[in-house]
Every structure is written in C-alpha cells, then in structure tokens.
Structure 1
C-alpha cells in the first residue's frame, strides 16, 4: 500500500464532459483518497507517453484512446484505469465507459413518450460508440414495432475547413426525404448541431417537423443551438466514482483482476430543452400554435392572439388542443412560463421581481402564486434546492 500515491489524470480539459469528470474525481478524492494529482489537461501524455511516464507515477487515469500509453505504463507496473469510450479492452487496465446501448434505449423511450411514429438516427459510422448508440436506439424501436432511417458519415477526427458545411448540405437533402414529424437521435451534441443547421437549410421547423435529441448534455453547446438542444447526459458522477474507486483499490493492494474488465455506466434522464419540447402533433395549426406559445409565452401572449395567428377560432383551437395535446392552450402557456422561471431561478441571481418581469408577469406576487400552485414549492425554495444540488455536483 502506498501512503501518498502519485496519480496522473490524462484528458482533454477543454471538453465539458472531461471538466465534469475532473470535478467528479476531485469529489471522490476529497472523501476517499490521499493522492498527489497531476492533471495533463492537454492529453500530451497520450500522444507522447515517454514525456509522462518518466515522472514515476503510481497510477494513471486516462480518457484517451492511447494503446501506447497503456502498454508502456503497465510495463512499468503503473496502475491504469481506462476511461476511453473506444470499446478496446486493454490487458491489466480496468475500463469504465458509458453504456451506449442503454443511451440509445433512453432516446427511443423519450420519443415514444411524446407519441412520435417516425424515427431516424444521425451519427458517425466509423466510431464504435456512435454505432452502439445507434444499435441501442434501433433495438428499442424494433421491439416496439417501429423502424428507423439512418444517416452516417465518417468522423474525420480533426475537423477540416468546410467539413461541417458539406455534411449539413447532405443532411438537408436527407431530411427532406423523411416523413414528418420525425424524431431524430444524434450520436452526440456536436452531431445534433449539424442536424439543426441542416434543418435551417432545408427550411424545416424544429421541433414541430423535426425533433432532435443529442447525447452528452454539453450544456454550452446545447444552449448555443437554436432552438436549444435536448440531450441525454452521461452519468459523469458515477463514471468518475467507479474510475476513482477502482484505482484506489488497486493502489491499496488489490489486483486489477479483482475488478470488472469493463464497467458500463447507465445514462441519466433526458434534459429537455426546446428541440424536443413538443408532442408529435400532426395537426399543423396545433403544431404552429405550440411553437408560438413556446416562443412568446414569456412575452405575455394570450390564447386569443395565438388563435388569431394560426387563423382559427379560439373555440376550435381549444378543441384541437385538448384532442392532440391533452390540455388547454392557457395551461400550455403557463407551463412554458414555469419552465422558464425554473431555469432562471436555477441559473441566475435575478430577483423575483426581475424574474417575474422577464417571464410575462406584471407582479412577482402573482408569479409566486402561480409557480407554487403548479410546482408545490415557492420560487425561493426552488432556488435554494437548485443551488444546493449544484453545489453537490448533482
């Protein structure tokens, strides 16, 4: 047993998922280990193992697919944990990675709950993790008696100038051929951005005609999309905990064979944003009305204004909403406002008066009454809970 092990973490630190992994490992170390840690946040050691290995490490956790690093580290009897999502099982290096089949299942379940009948997948055909996510999605759909269209090209590794633009042009042509409304799962959030851009090129409305779901929940990328992107999060907290616990066990004297050769971590629940914030509605007036409500609920839009915009009477709009959505337009307006209030309470420090003004309420007292009626908690209590969960990394 080593009293103060020297541990190197090798990953590309500019990726949000990897930053979250660092936070997860820091949390594990704080309560469970006494490591001296070096963070190779440019993954230089993956490309140049000798540069890293000459420093005399006791353990390495690596998120990169570097066969050379793992082989040379094991030759030097350095304990290694492999967090790369490439499917390769490296001798003597317990592997921890996402359960990509389960991620595909989660995407199918999300769309099925919204009533979609047409499905598609967009990914990278040369990446195992993408193919696994595709296979899980198709497997779940097949079990439900549904079929799936697929668009795949090869990921170039390092993006070439013009590469994404060419991809989006081909996607736009493919999207035109799909029956609408269609639900598309993409292999990750980057690919989802491509699909959203292609929808703009093809003049297809998201989510009314094309609902898009990403994977990994890269929050910055998801919020940069227009509309904002729904995504399936990898359980980074558990991902990191298993990796840290496995390394700590080996450093304390357990043989690597006592641990699973590969541990697959199931995903969390879908984070729903506007790209899938809709039911599959085949009535064009209702679909258009839903879009208007989601875009303008916080600007004070009324049911009368919605009906006028979609060129039908209020009574007919009410009737069609209850048929296709299962609730009234007014309830949908309130739901959109409350979702925005929740986001602002969790992510900003705006006062309740500012939140009320920015979500279409003249008085913060009335906003609080509506919010509590629909959520069972006050805005202040919701904010406190959200901040507490964020502080715990949840």
Structure 2
C-alpha cells in the first residue's frame, strides 16, 4: 500500500530566501504528485517549542538557523537541511544538505561590476553572529575576489537595524559611504541591505549608478518596489534548492528500511562520520536594473546630465530642462555628449524613456495603457510608434515575449 508521508517544513517565511525555497518544494510536489501532507505553521514561522511533539516522517529545515539546527539533531526521523555553503568542510551539518553557493553569488556580483569598468569595490554586510554565518562566508568570498583581481576594497558590517537604532545606523552608513572613493561598485549581502544603500545615497545626493553602482543578492520582489532607483540583484537558485531538497528527502523516505539500518550499523561499527549527500546550487543570473547601470564617463558635466535625465525623463522633460538644470549652453553640452556618448542629449532622453517602459512591461503587471504616462510619453499611440520603430514589436508583444522567458 502506498504510504502517505507527513513532512514538516522548518522555515521562517518572512525571508525572501526561505519563501523561494518553499516554492521549490511545492514545485517538486506538483511535478511528482507524491503523497505528502505538509505541516507548516499558519503564520509561516517555525515554533520550535511545539515541533518536538510533532509526529511525522521527515523534515526539510533551514539549517542556517542555529536553533533549528540544534533541534533537528535530536530527532530520529529523516532530515534534509537547506542553507549556505561553507569554506570549511567542518561547518556543514551532519545531514543530507542543499546549499546556496555563497562564493559563486559574490563572484557573480563582483564580475558584473568589474565588467562595467569599475575599479573600486566595497561590500555592505551584516554583523557577525551565529545566525549570520552565511554573511561571513560572503565576506570571505569578496576578500578572495579582491585578492584574485588585485584590487583593494572596503567592508562595512553595520548593525542589524531596528526601529530604535534605525536613524543612528543610517547615519553611520552615510559616514562610510562618504569616505569611499568614486566611482565605486558596492555589493550588498542582501537586497534588504542594498535598499539601505539606495536610500542613504539619495539623501546624500550621491549619484546612483554614476558614482556608486549597487547590486544586491536575492532578487527579492518586494524590495524592488521600495526604492525609487530599481535595484540590480543576483538571483539565488532558491527554488532549485527547494526542489532538490524535496527530491532528496523523497528518495530517503523510499529507501528500504533494512538498507538504511545496515548503513547505520556499518557506520557505527567503523566509528566514522556518515558521508551524507550534498548539493551546492550556484547563482541563477544577474538581474540588471538601474542601480548598477554604470557607464564609464570621464566628463563630470555629462555625468550630472545623465543622472538628471535618468531621474526625470519619465516626467516628459525636454533638452531645455536639462540645460536649465546644469546652467550650460546647448552647444557646449551637445559637443561633450557627442564625445562621451556618441549621440545627442535628445537621444539620451529618448533612450531613458524607452528603457523605463521596457522595465515596467518586463517586471510589473501595470496596465499597458497606464505606462505612457509613467514614462513621459504623450500618448499610448506615441509609445506604440516608438516601440515599433526601435524594437520592431508592440508593447504588448514585448511583454508577452518576456513573460515566456
């Protein structure tokens, strides 16, 4: 008779990372139609005090949480762990494990910034602590990249922000940012930390990405909507991790009992540690948006013009407004733009509007009829004409193609 398994998920789904892992578990269940009853607290957080009394067949757990890691070590049912990767082999838990490749995540972000032509780098991390070991691994990876590529850099840990210390911490972050050389590329250990950088840069009038290019890690959907400048981010393969964890647990549950007992007895008799399976999942890709769209420009006037255009093109500005803002003649700015950018100021405004329209079509569900007004186009018909001429498809066709990718 086919058994119905009871599986507990020990995650705190207030984190983007955990939510994506859980989605991956769900994708495995949908794909295989396996008979699992999933136990998950209704508030999507783990109640450690009660889980000890839970009677079930298996667990998938976030073992970056030291309390959860300690708890599962006392249980006598199959456990598959999910968490970060580690430089030191001894730091891995003694259970089957699916890890996110911390080194690869940072290398991917670093190379993205390097490819932009940047030569100064910094890393905004988290304070040391038992729950932040994965962040420490990312710091190590950043330092390793600096050494490998022969650059120097800066790391700022800050504090874990709360309502009480928020303003103090943002002031200290501002102090650090103002001491950094520019132009510079900054990797934030998470998208949440990247959001701090974007907000402080705006208050300090530090131009992003012209002076400070920023990239986070997570590609967290919610964070993208909480800042005026859209955030570039490295996507973790979290859904792939959840899928692999569910598959690994399923295989363990289906393994014949006598075979499992034999393996355990053999391990005990030889007094050697069990070699559990382990899979490390690399970064998915860089999701490039405005915050890291750095272009190596030497002329400070063109840099200021580019920053003004990026932030105001969607207001329907014309070349005259750019000139008024900079207090410079048209011939002067056009000549310098031609030298640095190879095209006119008008073309730069046009490109900025089109890029914003593409971004809104690609990453939001905003009705197409509303997008022209958000991008500075005079009408929907005008936007359609621009798309047909520049992209050779309609806005609707562009959105559909990107939805399929």
TM-score (norm 1): 0.85
Give 1:374's aligned residue. 390
Alpha-carbon distance, 1:224 to partner: 0.9
Give 2:150's aligned residue. 145
Which whole-Å CA distance do the structure 2 matches of 1:260 and 1:316 have between them? Answer: 67
More displaced 10-residue stretch of structure 1: 255-264 or 4-13: 255-264
- Structure with greater Cα Rg: 2
Match of 2:213 among 201, 207, 211: 211
2:124–2:187 Cα contact (<8 Å) kept: yes
CA 1:323/1:115 → structure 2, altered by over 3 Å: closer, same or farther?
farther
1:286–1:317 Cα contact (<8 Å) kept: yes
Alpha-carbon distance, 1:153 to partner: 4.1
Which whole-Å CA distance do the structure 1 matches of 2:340 and 2:146 have between them? Answer: 23
Alpha-carbon distance, 1:202 to partner: 4.2
1:159-198, aligned counterparts within 5 Å?
Answer: 159-198=161-200
Give 1:392's aligned residue. none
Q: Are residues 1:128 and 2:144 paired?
A: no
Give 2:365's aligned residue. 348
1:224-239, aligned counterparts within 5 Å?
Answer: 224-239=226-241
Which whole-Å CA distance do the structure 2 matches of 1:259 and 1:368 have between them? Answer: 59
Give 2:97's aligned residue. 95
Give 1:36's aligned residue. 37
SS of residue in 2 equivalent to 1:225: coil
- How many residues are paired up? 378
More displaced 10-residue stretch of structure 1: 224-233 or 243-252: 224-233
2:230–2:291 Cα contact (<8 Å) kept: yes
SS of residue in 2 equivalent to 1:72: coil
Which whole-Å CA distance do the structure 1 matches of 2:296 and 2:221 have between them? Answer: 25
Alpha-carbon distance, 1:235 to partner: 1.7
Q: 1:76-127 deviations in whole A, cap 9, x for unaligned?
A: 2x11111133744222x22212111111111111212222221111212513
CA 1:356/1:168 → structure 2, altered by over 3 Å: closer, same or farther?
closer
Alpha-carbon distance, 1:11 to partner: 0.9
Q: 1:300-358 deviations in whole A, cap 9, x for unaligned?
A: 22234323422333344344334444554334323322232223334224144x32233
Which whole-Å CA distance do the structure 2 matches of 1:351 and 1:57 have between them? Answer: 49
Q: 1:185-234 deviations in whole A, cap 9, x for unaligned?
A: 11112222333344355443333322222211222223212433322221
1:89–1:261 Cα contact (<8 Å) kept: no
CA 1:206/1:177 → structure 2, altered by over 3 Å: closer, same or farther?
same
SS of residue in 2 equivalent to 1:241: helix
Unaligned runs of 5+ in 1: 390-394
Which whole-Å CA distance do the structure 1 matches of 2:297 and 2:153 have between them? Answer: 19
Which whole-Å CA distance do the structure 1 matches of 2:321 and 2:147 have between them? Answer: 42
Unaligned runs of 5+ in 2: 264-272
Give 1:59's aligned residue. 58
CA 1:217/1:365 → structure 2, altered by over 3 Å: closer, same or farther?
same
1:185–1:213 Cα contact (<8 Å) kept: yes
Give 2:19's aligned residue. 19
Q: Are residues 1:384 and 2:400 paired?
A: yes
Give 2:317's aligned residue. 301
C-alpha RMSD over aligned residues: 2.8
